[in-house]
Every structure is written in structure tokens, then in C-alpha cells.
Amino acid sequence: MSIVTKTGDKGTTGTLGGQRLLKSSPLIELNGQIDEVNASLGYLNSLLDEAKDFPAKGEIMDFLRFIQNGLYNLGTEISSGFAITRFQEKHVLLLEEKIETMTNLMPPQTKFILFSGAKEATYTHVVRSVSRRCERQFVRFLLEENIDPFPECYKFLNRLSDYLFTLARFLNQELGGTELETSPWKE
């Protein structure tokens, strides 16, 4: 099967429902941002693969691949007009469980931090910010489409950025990165 179809040469693309939409449509923009989060997670996993070993390394890498698969399912739900649903509350709860587990293994955060430290941790913050941008696009899309209540897949994406923030802090701890605290500017 060829990757080149030429069907998008006029600025449109197809959905799972068989529609042709402009590539600038909110749905296609959202799917593109989900793709960007997914690719960013793949790069994060490659950074972790090259990082020094720590006890939870394999488990974290496996879970990042689980999230990547989840993002493909997210794209399926959106492209089908939510006729296909793959996300359930248990997926959101799993992210919350992972957040809690890592949080319990770290000292409490008492100040705001700069996104710094080990390159793997710093890049995790980049992925987190890309995820947040995707989430903002998702909200715009849901509001435009008058979808209420928001689906579980949205809640998963919302929780993903919390997971990534916690993961960045945890990676700094495990990889010896220094977490810098913010400080007021002096005049």
C-alpha cells in the first residue's frame, strides 16, 4: 500500500465517517495536534531508552507506549464523530493512579519550578505543553460541535498533562536532574 494517495492535493482529507474536510478544519487540526503529542511521546521514549537505568524505567516506557496507543484510539473516537468509543473512566483513573504513585515517591513540591533538569525531564515538559495546546483545541472542537457532556477521551487528555508534569519531576529525581525553583526578579 502506498503512502501517496494524492487525494489531499486540493487541501482536503478524509475522515473515518467518509467525509472530505478541509485540512484546516477544527477536526483535522485536532487530529494533527493529537498526532504531534503522539510523536513527541515517541521521541521522549527514545530519550528514556538512552538514559541511565533506574528502577521504574521499563514500566514508564511501557506506559508511554500505552498512552501512544490511547492517542490513536482518541483520534478514532473524534474522527468517527464519537460513534466509536474506546475510552472509559478506568483509563482516566489509571493516569490518576500513576500520578499518585510517582507523587508518593517524591518530596512534596512547595514552590513553582522552572522546567529544567535532566534532558529527559525537560523534554517531558515540552510534551506536556504540546498536550495542553492539544487539549485547548479539543475544547474548542467540543464546544463548536455542541458536545456535552465532554467525553471520557477528553478527560484522559486533560489528565495526561498532569501525568506528564509529575513524570518530569519524577525523571529529574531518578536521573539526577536539578529542579530549579522560580524566584522573583530583582530590580
CATH number at residue 87: 1.20.1200.10
For residue 10, being part of any structural domain is answered with no
Number of domains in the chain: 1
Q: Is residue 183 included in any domain, yes or no? A: no
Residue 184 lies in a domain: no
- The values of phi and psi at residue 54, to 5°, are -150, 160
* 8 Å CB contact between 26 and 141: yes
Domain carrying residue 51: 22-175
Mean pLDDT by 10 residues, the chain (187 residues): 69 72 81 97 98 98 98 93 94 98 95 94 98 97 95 97 98 95 86
Q: Is residue 163 part of a domain?
A: yes
Supply the pLDDT for residue 9: 72
Residue 14 phi, psi (nearest 5):
-100, 155
Q: Give domain status of residue 2, yes or no.
A: no
- The pLDDT assigned to 178 comes to 92
On whether residue 3 sits in a domain, the answer given is no
Pull the grid cell for residue 168. Answer: 518530569
Query: What CA–CA distance (Å, rounded) separates 135 from 172?
Result: 25
Place of cell 484546516: 24
How confident is the model at residue 25, as a pLDDT? 85
100 phi, psi to nearest 5 deg: -65, -40
| Dihedral of the alpha carbons of 23, 28, 30, 33, in degrees to the nearest 10 | -60
Q: Is residue 158 part of a domain?
A: yes
Contact 13, 23 (CB under 8 A): yes
Tell me which H or E stretch contains 21.
strand 20-22
Tell me, yes or no, whether 86 lies in a domain: yes
Handedness of CA 90, 64, 103, 150 (dihedral sign): negative
47, amino acid identity: L
Whether 30 contacts 78, CB under 8 Å = yes
> Residue holding cell 496507543?
69
